[in-house]
Amino acid sequence: MSDLNAALDAADAGVEAGLARLFELIRIPSVSADPARVGDVRRAADWLAADLASMGFEASVRPTGGHPMVVAHDQGAPSGAPHVLFYGHYDVQPEDPIDLWHADPFTPELLPQPDGETWITGRGASDDKGALMTFVEACRAWKAATGALPCRVSILLEGEEEITSPSLGPFLEATQGELKADTVLVCDTDMWDRETPAITTMMRGLASEEFTIRSADRDLHAGIFGGAARNALQVMADVLASLRRPDGKVAIEGFYADVAELPQETADIWASLPFDDAAFLGGVGLSIPAGEADRSVLEQVWARPTFEVHGIWGGYSGEGFKSIVVGEAHAKVSFRLVADQDPEAVRAAFRAHVEAQLPGDCTVSFKRLGAAAPVMMPTDSPMLRQALEGLRDEWGKAAVAGTGGSIPILAEFRERLGMDALLVGFARFDNRVHSPNEKYDLSSYVRGTRSWVRILDKFANGAG
Amino acid sequence: MSDLNAALDAADAGVEAGLARLFELIRIPSVSADPARVGDVRRAADWLAADLASMGFEASVRPTGGHPMVVAHDQGAPSGAPHVLFYGHYDVQPEDPIDLWHADPFTPELLPQPDGETWITGRGASDDKGALMTFVEACRAWKAATGALPCRVSILLEGEEEITSPSLGPFLEATQGELKADTVLVCDTDMWDRETPAITTMMRGLASEEFTIRSADRDLHAGIFGGAARNALQVMADVLASLRRPDGKVAIEGFYADVAELPQETADIWASLPFDDAAFLGGVGLSIPAGEADRSVLEQVWARPTFEVHGIWGGYSGEGFKSIVVGEAHAKVSFRLVADQDPEAVRAAFRAHVEAQLPGDCTVSFKRLGAAAPVMMPTDSPMLRQALEGLRDEWGKAAVAGTGGSIPILAEFRERLGMDALLVGFARFDNRVHSPNEKYDLSSYVRGTRSWVRILDKFANGAG
């Protein structure tokens, strides 16, 4: 039996034990946004370092200004083998609204589905605990089958991805010599569909912001002041409405100046993809594309910049009715960015737009939440071709090179270490990541692990 | 000494004991909107009934479908004396945002001010506990000085005014014979300024509503769906913005059809009033009138209908950032109505407007919160002239007949009992009713009590 086949067999034989490990990890509520869970986030880091150490990695939990990093190295690969750095994140999104979950978010289960699939349920089942464990389990399978990994593998797992990775840049800077490798592998993206693997080569960037609009210096009795006093909530609604044109375009002056059209080659490939708008939107209860009217749904979600409101709050939201003219309104918003758009330039233009909308006796204050530049990966590297071959061998069909959501860390790896990333993901569109009832398909987990086993083999054998 | 002078002296002598009683009442957190405070609301009713009984009223706490009514009658007046029904409310607004209060909302204090005024502080100090106690203390003074009231007095105190009085209509219906009087007296309005008393003869109506807009059937990952999936918060902002025109007018089709212009006589009086726009708005940190551009500030707050947003909520408002396309957005809104506007017709037009704004794959659900028709009181009744005389005697200058916020109960008294109301109030614009740090001027309390002593005397002596 070839080493590859032995490692694939070991991966299959290890599924049950691997799921038990994944369940342990999901049970730790490592919500990075919640200050009350700082101990849980740390516990997830400790758990991962211990697991990696148990299979022979030199593993450690490293402090940062925020949540810690898990760093692990394996030195057992043949001399001259390529060096890969696997990146994942062990923090998860907040679970709220909790009342929409069908079961406890941190009590994972295996749920058989009518279509023959089985779901692994729980917050982080897909994003990113389930996904990162496919790579860890692939390493375990290689070691179990052959005693060693075919490539030199380093692993970096962070605990702040869901809060825009504030510590990652400084950490990469400080550990530069240690984490530099031939490529970064990331497992945090989607498949094209259940049967078709995908490698993501374009990622939208991000600029996120919180802001507060103030009108009167207190909430006022609407029976006395209503009509003459400016209502901060009305101003907030007017401002948010003013940011988006009826045709779905962002209404900020100059917003599209740095937005390039897709390369013709990519546009042609996308046009040929069997993307079903109705199924994509219908799966979440929608039917009318909300984005730029002159763009396809695929362009809207993959290639075009967006403006999104993530939260609004202000005034009275309790039982019954409170007759007030509201003095203070809050919102969280973000922009997804593409091509040459600069997050800080977009942020400045956004702030100028809001200020220009304000009545003269209102004020606004802004709070920067996060930023990431858009990223385009090279589409002609040998390691990309090797990864595509590994996926084709596992899935029996060619992988699609597509685009996806912002993964802000990609710009950090490029800027700090000069490394591009290979984004190989096994998640599905309907995984409800960031939503109640997150799940990961068991087939994503099993065949994802097998895919990594194959990709490491392809890297080790070079060429491609 | 005349009976009147004896009663005025008794009122002055009773101020200290009266304030101690008022403080007891303010200490009871009778927030009618808060289901957790139902016992406190009941406690306030019991306290008032006991106080009224202690001075010889037949007083009782009567159950309703919601919070109870306090009903009290005094039968000691001379035969043939006019019968007045005093109406007040013992419930108060919620105290939130609690962190903006300088002291505990339910621990009243006397706070001397640099201008020589003294504030009575606390939630309800003005609206309506302080105000209703001016009438109660006036009754006590008459009884202390002469052993009897000069008029036949009934008192009705409700515990649901701040939640739009759902039980009042049915209660008046059920007790019709008992509460019918020559007029209703209400003490829940403002003075014109610190030196000038006012009787309110027009009240704006109200239609209030809560609604929820739904787009996708869950919150979605903005990195996957952002751009193509409709965001319920953006739709909410667009809808709220669409309800108000840039010139400050309500943008609902036909909204102004039933809005009459002021009677010329009233318009002339208002135009002659020394109303200071800059001081009115400047007192709350504003400088630019927000209402209809072609109307004066006084018209905006007294005579014109309005649309107001009282609360918006939806999406993520916690620490940090959650990258979601939001599936559900909520708001509470209301309209102030004037002249012949019908609350339920306005509600229907509002709902139709919202539905017309919705993208085809979004839904909206509405919840009726409350309604009150606009009210115009007769300006030529003998009891109005008598009350104006009483005020002139106390304050040394003529009272202004003005307009004010919605007091939804007025329509109930007119419809159920055929009674008009006299709205005599001693509050000031800056009392921060419905806001943190509510207060009532000690001079409002002392001279308000004296004013009622005089008004009861004028009623008893007839003519006018």
Model confidence pLDDT, tens digit, residues B58-79 = 999 999 999 999 999 999 999 9
Rg over CA atoms, chain A: 24
CB contact under 8 A, A223 and B405: yes
Question: Same domain, yes or no, for B173 and B62?
Answer: yes
Question: Same domain, yes or no, for B327 and B413?
Answer: no
Per the rule left: phi > 0, alpha: psi between -120 and 50, beta: everything else, A248 is: left
As a whole-number percent, the residues of chain B with pLDDT over 70 amount to 98
Helix H or strand E encompassing B96: none
Interface test with B, best of A206, A233, A366 (most B CBs within 10 A): A233
Domain boundary pick from B343, B372, B401 = B372
Question: Same domain, yes or no, for B254 and B383?
Answer: no
What single-letter DSSP state applies at residue B101? -
For B304, list phi and psi in degrees, rounded to 5.
-110, 145
Nearest CA among B226, B41, B105 for reference residue A403? B226
B406 confidence band (pLDDT: 50, 70, 90): low
Which of A285, A311, A325 is opposite residue B216, by nearest beta carbon?
A285
Residue A275 lies in a domain: no
CB contact under 8 A, A223 and B314: no
User: Which residues are CB-neighbours of A3 under 8 A, at least 6 positions away?
Assistant: A145, A146, A150, A457
Domain boundary pick from B347, B372, B397 = B372
- Write down the pLDDT at residue A404: 62
Rounded distance, CA B266 to CA A356, Å? 39
Q: Which of A67-76, A262-271, B428-437 tops mean pLDDT?
A: A67-76
Residues of A in contact with B284 (CB under 8 A): 216-218, 220, 225, 229
- Write down the pLDDT at residue B404: 62
What integer best gives the mean pLDDT of chain A?
93
Instruction: Report the greatest alpha carbon distance in chain B.
Output: 85
A97 confidence band (pLDDT: 50, 70, 90): confident
Domain boundary pick from A319, A350, A372 = A372
Residue A270 lies in a domain: no
pTM: 0.73
Which of A208, A241, A435 is opposite residue B321, by nearest beta carbon?
A208
Question: Same domain, yes or no, for B184 and B229?
Answer: no
B296 to each of A246, A286, A362, B303, how far by Cα in Å? Answer: 34, 46, 20, 10
Residue A268 lies in a domain: no
Rounded distance, CA B64 to CA A71, Å? 67
Of A4-8, A118-122, A193-197, B79-83, the one with minimum mean pLDDT is A193-197
- DSSP result, A193-213: BTTB-EEEEEE-EEEEEEEEE
Residues of A in contact with B409 (CB under 8 A): none
Domain boundaries, position A349:
205-259+305-372
Rounded distance, CA B451 to CA B81, Å? 19
Mean pLDDT of A377-404: 86
Question: Same domain, yes or no, for A11 and A92?
Answer: yes
What's the CATH code of the domain at A216? 3.30.70.360
Residue B271 lies in a domain: no
Question: Same domain, yes or no, for B367 and B386?
Answer: no
Question: Same domain, yes or no, for B196 and B229?
Answer: no
CA distance from start to end of chain A: 23
Q: Judge if the upstream peptide bond of residue B128 is cis by omega within 30 degrees of 0.
A: yes
What's the CATH code of the domain at A161? 3.40.630.10
How many structural domains compose chain A?
A: 2
Which of B222, B304, B309 is opposite residue A227, by nearest beta carbon?
B304
Strand partners, A59: A72
CB contact under 8 A, A322 and B33: yes
Residue B280 lies in a domain: no
Pick B447 or A462 by higher pLDDT: B447
Of A196-205, A436-445, B56-65, the one with minimum mean pLDDT is A196-205
Pick A266 or A171 by higher pLDDT: A171
pLDDT exceeds 60 at position A464: no
CB contact under 8 A, A289 and B228: yes
CB contact under 8 A, B291 and A94: no
Which of B127, B215, B226 is opposite residue A301, by nearest beta carbon?
B226
Q: How many angstroms separate the CA of residue B27 from the nearest CA in chain A?
A: 21
CB contact under 8 A, B94 and A318: yes
CB contact under 8 A, A310 and B324: yes
What single-letter DSSP state applies at residue B190? B
Contact B174, B417 (CB under 8 A): no
Nearest CA among A372, A423, A412, A408 for reference residue A200? A423
Tell me whether strands B328-337 and B306-315 are parallel, antiparallel or unpaired: antiparallel
pLDDT tens profile B376-400: 777 778 999 999 999 999 999 888 7
Q: How many angstroms separate the CA of residue B3 from the nearest CA in chain A?
A: 37
Rounded distance, CA A187 to CA A202, Å? 14
Rounded distance, CA B290 to CA B303, Å? 15
pLDDT exceeds 70 at position A363: yes
Nearest CA among A369, A366, A346 for reference residue A252? A346
CB contact under 8 A, A311 and B330: no
As a whole-number percent, the residues of chain A with pLDDT over 70 amount to 98
Mean pLDDT of B350-364: 98
B279 confidence band (pLDDT: 50, 70, 90): very high
- Write down the pLDDT at residue A408: 67
- Write down the pLDDT at residue B388: 92
Residues of A in contact with B279 (CB under 8 A): none
pLDDT exceeds 90 at position B51: yes
Contact A439, A105 (CB under 8 A): no
- For B372, the 3-state DSSP assignment is strand
Residue B276 lies in a domain: no
Quote the Cα angle for B27-B28-B31, to 5°.
120
B408 confidence band (pLDDT: 50, 70, 90): low
- For A237, the 3-state DSSP assignment is helix
pLDDT tens profile A309-353: 999 999 999 888 888 999 999 999 999 999 889 999 999 999 999
Residue B138 lies in a domain: yes
CB contact under 8 A, A434 and B323: yes
A131 confidence band (pLDDT: 50, 70, 90): very high
Question: Same domain, yes or no, for A99 and A132?
Answer: yes
Residues of B in contact with A439 (CB under 8 A): none
pLDDT exceeds 90 at position B316: yes
Strand order in the sheet with B118-121: B110-112, B118-121, B439-441
Question: Same domain, yes or no, for B24 and B93?
Answer: yes
- For A104, the 3-state DSSP assignment is coil
Nearest CA in chain B to A223: B405
A240 confidence band (pLDDT: 50, 70, 90): very high
As a whole-number percent, the residues of chain B with pLDDT over 90 amount to 78
A116 confidence band (pLDDT: 50, 70, 90): very high
- Write down the pLDDT at residue B405: 60
pLDDT tens profile B92-146: 999 988 999 999 999 999 999 999 999 999 999 999 999 999 999 999 999 999 9
A273 confidence band (pLDDT: 50, 70, 90): confident
User: Which residues are CB-neighbours of A416 under 8 A, at least 6 positions away?
Assistant: A169, A172, A173, A176
Pick B101 or A399 by higher pLDDT: B101
Rounded distance, CA A155 to CA A260, Å? 34
Question: Same domain, yes or no, for B338 and B413?
Answer: no
Residue B360 lies in a domain: yes
CB contact under 8 A, B361 and A287: yes
A270 confidence band (pLDDT: 50, 70, 90): confident
Question: Same domain, yes or no, for A311 and A402?
Answer: no
B432 to each of A259, B122, B324, B428, how far by Cα in Å? Answer: 50, 10, 38, 9
A403 confidence band (pLDDT: 50, 70, 90): low
A103 confidence band (pLDDT: 50, 70, 90): very high
pLDDT exceeds 80 at position B463: no
pLDDT tens profile A32-49: 999 999 999 999 999 999
CB contact under 8 A, A229 and B359: no
- Write down the pLDDT at residue A115: 92
Mean pLDDT of B327-347: 95
Q: How many angstroms separate the CA of residue B333 from the nearest CA in chain A?
A: 9
Q: How many angstroms separate the CA of residue B12 from the nearest CA in chain A?
A: 30
Residues of A in contact with B162 (CB under 8 A): 322
Q: How many angstroms separate the CA of residue A344 from the nearest CA in chain B?
A: 17
B34 confidence band (pLDDT: 50, 70, 90): very high
Q: How many angstroms separate the CA of residue B50 from the nearest CA in chain A?
A: 29
CB contact under 8 A, B241 and A238: yes
CB contact under 8 A, B321 and A164: yes
- Write down the pLDDT at residue B178: 95
Question: Same domain, yes or no, for B323 and B354?
Answer: yes
